[in-house]
Amino acid sequence: MIITMNRTFLQCALLAVALCLLMPAKAQRYNNGLVDKIVALVGNEMIQLSTLESEVHDMMAMGVISDKNIRCQVLENLLIQKLLLTQAKLDSLSTSEGSIEAELENKIQQYKTHFGSEKAVEEYFNKPIFRIKQDWREQLQEQLLTMEMQRALQAKIPVLTPSEVEKFYRQTDKDSLPIIPIQYQLRQIVFYPSKEDAVLAVKEELLNLRERVMNGENFGMLAASYSMDPGSALRRGELGMTSKQFFWPMFSDAAMGLRPGQVSQIVETPDGFHIIQLIEKDGDMFNARHILRKPQFGSDVRVKAFNKLDSLKNLITKDSLSFETAATHFSMDPKSSRNNGLLADENTGSTYFEKDQLSPTDYNAIRNLKPGEISLPYESTDFGSGVGFSAGRPNDGRSGNTVYKIIKLEKILPAHTANLKEDYPVILEFARNRHMNDIVEEFISDKQKTTYMVIDPIFSECTFQRSGWIK
């Protein structure tokens, strides 16, 4: 995915929550014993010192490193937010109570997961959870209104015709265009091994491990030895106190239905098969150990698949069969087989992939190939590498089945500056981002001139990214 500097800037400016703006400002120091006060007025909206400090406090709690610019950055983002909020109210934009409560609950769950429990969150903020929710509810309402205003601004972006995109490309300094890394176009033929025997074997393994726990063996020791989730296996299967929403529903439901120390029956998720031992639960959070096992296929299954793929490769190299025809008729991957084996990005439709978009096994298979050459048969998974479970939720929702395949390297597109012929979608997105930025900057500039604003002198030494804040 190509992510431009302009898109990153737009997100920071509009949402006023991601502090991505780098501003060479001097440090802000406050006198000892300074009580809460209003540090800025934007129209009828005020920014209090406590709000600014709370934003800084929250950022640091979530791991953002404080530096000498942070309060100036936060203040400018709050000023932008207040301009958007003021206009949203003038335009009578609104948000539903349901969306506010959903965002509030999500934020609470993130903090509970980060600190480990509701009690720890209360201790960190030195107030009960209901007070924290009260404080955050108004802030979230304002943030959602600014997002509504963001969408209203985005609606002003014109629909660009191909001729307009071409004109934009001709008029744009080529040094400012995105750099496209080396990309690969690939075709594949995929075989899925039969899972029935392998699934039965996995279930027998887990039943045996569960019986060993029931007979007194330590669950954590068995998890360290047998679990196929590498992240939690290092912690003897422990996942840490986490909200149930961060796991597959079937996993969460099984864990929440246990008593501390109790071990579940076998639970199937898209990651594989698990047994779970509950450590503790608190509300909708729980800490548990688990052992993950995935279906494994014997060498005879692998050899049989490889022999079939070798036979197809030999027919293709002898020109008895084209790769495209073989992929259409023999590949078991439903998506690529319908496209003559050609791989395409599910989100963008692009048939070109950067190295980082390929799984390690796929890249290793094609790294030494020349365009037109076909790899040797190899084993992979249908979503890349890793089970994705140790981070709390599955990484992309696909099943992670074992597959056997051969890949044809169709084309190599060298690293280059984006151009119209090969990268029209990138140029189109780049042009839209430029239009977005222009609209945002025009909005901020106009509102700075027409909105009553006062900023406390304690911020007089801030060098904001935009002029016009201090009048």
Residues 88-133 have pLDDT tens digits of 999 998 888 888 888 888 888 888 888 878 888 888 888 898 888 8
d(CA 397, CA 71): 39
Same domain, 18 and 146: yes
Same domain, 250 and 347: no
Same domain, 454 and 344: no
Q: Which residue has the tokens 């979230």?
A: 140
Task: Please give the mean pLDDT across all residues of the chain.
Answer: 84
CB-count burial class (<10 Å; 0-12, 13-18, 19+) for 142: buried
Same domain, 230 and 189: no
Does residue 172 sit within a domain? no
Of 127-131, 141-145, 373-377, 381-385, the range with the lowest mean pLDDT is 381-385
Structural domain harbouring 445: 5-159+426-459
Residue-wise pLDDT for 347-364, tens only, equals 778 899 999 999 899 999
Residue-wise pLDDT for 23-47, tens only, equals 333 334 444 445 678 999 999 999 9
Same domain, 31 and 142: yes
What are the phi and psi torsion angles at 178 (to 5°)?
A: -65, 150
Last residue of a domain, one of 293, 310, 329: 293
Same domain, 431 and 345: no
- pLDDT-derived band at 66, boundaries 50, 70, 90: low
d(CA 343, CA 341): 6
- E strand or H helix that includes residue 206: helix 196-214
Q: What is the mean pLDDT of residues 254-278?
A: 95
Same domain, 269 and 340: no
Distances from the Cα of 342 to the Cα of 18, 31, 410, angstroms: 38, 65, 9
Does residue 27 sit within a domain? yes
Tokens standing for residue 415: 């690293």
Does residue 132 sit within a domain? yes
Show the 3-state SS of 423-435.
HHHHHHHHHHHHH
- Residue 188, pLDDT > 70, answer yes
* pLDDT at site 383: 54
Q: What is the mean pLDDT of residues 242-257?
A: 92
Does residue 323 sit within a domain? yes
Q: What is the mean pLDDT of residues 438-442?
A: 93
Q: Which residue has the tokens 């949203």?
A: 88
Domain count, the chain: 3
Same domain, 438 and 386: no
* pLDDT at site 402: 82
Higher model confidence: residue 354 or residue 11?
354
- Residue 68, pLDDT > 70, answer no
- At 453 the three-state DSSP class reads strand
d(CA 55, CA 456): 18
Q: Does residue 229 contact residue 387 with C-beta atoms inside 8 Å? A: yes
d(CA 239, CA 260): 14
How many residues are there in the chain?
471
